[in-house]
Amino acid sequence: MIFKSHPSPLRPATERRIAPENHAPARVLLIGLDGTRPDAIVEAHTPHLDHVMQNGAFTLHASTQCDARTKSGPGWSTILTGVNPAKHRVAANQDYAQSQLRTYPTVLWRAKHTGKLKTAMSVHWDDLANHIIEPDAIDARTVGNDDVVTTAAETYVRDGDFSLIFVHLEDIDSAGHDEGFTPKTPAYRAAIETTDARIGRILAALSQRPTRATEHWTVIITTDHGGTRFGHGARIAACRRIFVFAMGDSVIPGELQRPVNQADITPTILDLLGVHDARVTDGVIL
Ligand SMILES: [Zn+2]
């Protein structure tokens, strides 16, 4: 399904190539919520996620990668590289011996290696920092629990000069493993609601940027997989079905009608940032 939709709902209305000097610098904030089922977001009280959904482009029917089990390693690797596990070869967690991530570098690495764009990450899951995201892809980094991640993300978003910021929050997935990955599980819904408040803090920090009015921002929020019972990994809808929300200065609000896959995130971010990269992708620009 390699095609491009025109006009793109996430693409700036005017082509930057034509008159780049007339455009504010494009910046992207990518927030990853580990193990978050779309139907549980609907069930939980999530004013900030609802705000992004209602003011942005959204789908509650996107798909994970389909080559590998629905684990975080293959999921985040596909989100961050734009290729499926058949190419990046991360088929499980804690198993990076066969990884081809240097052949298919992350969107952070590609943005930074333009030589013009700065990147930051604030992540909870160690594998992201130690195995998936390249050490030389990042200008500023924080690794810690969700509280630490949120506080650092606020600083990066409010005070930094980063074109691409990746934030990863883990507590929803942990609640799913402990108490169950279903919309009816109180602890799972509670973790989603706590995380929603953290998203609210990060979005508030973005609105507090002194230069916000002269910049062009897109916020994308997604997950690596869903879950069922006390885990994930199976190739079933409860694990495969994910959400993608995107809100920004050029995003056309409304439900994304065509099939969306997590491999679409990286080509979309590269397009928003104006990074022209000829590397192969399994995704399409949203
Ligand atoms: Zn998990």
Rounded percentage of the chain residues whose pLDDT exceeds 90: 86
Question: What is the 232 CA–ligand 1 centroid distance (Å)?
Answer: 6
pLDDT at 19 (0 to 100): 31
Q: Would you say residue 244 has pLDDT above 50?
A: yes
Domain range for 65 is 26-273
Question: What is the 127 CA–ligand 1 centroid distance (Å)?
Answer: 12
What CATH number does residue 125 fall under?
3.40.720.10
Helix H segments across the chain? 38-43, 47-55, 72-81, 85-88, 107-112, 126-127, 146-159, 171-179, 186-207, 237-240, 265-273
**Burial classification of residue 98, based on how many CB atoms lie within 10 Å of its CB (0-12 exposed, 13-18 middle, 19 or more buried):** exposed
Question: What is the 231 CA–ligand 1 centroid distance (Å)?
Answer: 6
Report pLDDT digits (tens) over 183-215.
999 999 999 999 999 999 999 999 999 999 999
Q: Would you say residue 228 has pLDDT above 50?
A: yes
Question: What is the 72 CA–ligand 1 centroid distance (Å)?
Answer: 7
Question: Strands 57-63 and 26-33, how do they pair?
Answer: unpaired
Expressed in percent and rounded to 5, the helix, strand and coil fractions of the chain are 40, 15, 45
As a whole number of angstroms, the distance between CA 226 and CA 238 comes to 6
pLDDT at 9 (0 to 100): 56
Tell how far CA 219 is from the center of its chain. 9
Question: What is the 226 CA–ligand 1 centroid distance (Å)?
Answer: 9
Residue 263 domain flag:
yes
pLDDT at 250 (0 to 100): 81
Q: Phi and psi (nearest 5°) for 218?
A: -130, 130
CA 218-219-221 angle, 5° bins: 145
- Decide if 104 contacts 83 (C-beta within 8 A): yes
Residue 279 domain flag:
no
Question: What is the 59 CA–ligand 1 centroid distance (Å)?
Answer: 22
What's the pTM? Answer: 0.93
Q: Strand order of the sheet with strand 26-33?
A: 140-143, 119-123, 164-169, 26-33, 216-222, 241-248, 57-63, 254-255
pLDDT at 94 (0 to 100): 80
Helix H segments across 4-145? 38-43, 47-55, 72-81, 85-88, 107-112, 126-127
pLDDT at 15 (0 to 100): 38
Q: Which residues pair with 123 in a beta bridge?
A: 143, 168
Report pLDDT digits (tens) over 140-180.
999 999 999 999 999 999 999 999 999 999 999 999 999 99
Question: What is the 177 CA–ligand 1 centroid distance (Å)?
Answer: 6
Residue 137 domain flag:
yes
Residue 19 domain flag:
no
Q: Would you say residue 21 has pLDDT above 50?
A: no
Confidence at 16, pLDDT banded by 50, 70, 90:
very low
Task: Please give the radius of gyration of the chain, using alpha carbons only, rounded to the nearest integer.
Answer: 17
What's the number of domains the chain is made of? 1
**Coil, helix or strand at residue 264:** helix
pLDDT at 234 (0 to 100): 94
CA 42-45-46 angle, 5° bins: 80
Residue 147 domain flag:
yes
Residue 286 domain flag:
no
Question: Strands 119-123 and 164-169, how do they pair?
Answer: parallel
pLDDT at 5 (0 to 100): 39
Residue 149 domain flag:
yes
- Decide if 100 contacts 129 (C-beta within 8 A): no
Confidence at 23, pLDDT banded by 50, 70, 90:
low
Q: Tell me the pLDDT of the chain averaged across its residues.
A: 91
Question: What is the 77 CA–ligand 1 centroid distance (Å)?
Answer: 15
Q: Roughly how many angstroms between the first and final C-alpha of the chain, as a whole number?
A: 13
As a whole number of angstroms, the distance between CA 227 and CA 241 comes to 9
Residue 282 domain flag:
no
**Burial classification of residue 71, based on how many CB atoms lie within 10 Å of its CB (0-12 exposed, 13-18 middle, 19 or more buried):** buried
Confidence at 18, pLDDT banded by 50, 70, 90:
very low
Question: What is the 225 CA–ligand 1 centroid distance (Å)?
Answer: 8
Would you mind telling me the total number of residues written for the chain in this entry?
Answer: 286
Q: What residues pack around ion ligand 1 (CB closer than 5 A)?
A: 35, 173
Q: Would you say residue 22 has pLDDT above 60?
A: no
pLDDT at 184 (0 to 100): 96
Question: What is the 150 CA–ligand 1 centroid distance (Å)?
Answer: 20
pLDDT at 72 (0 to 100): 97
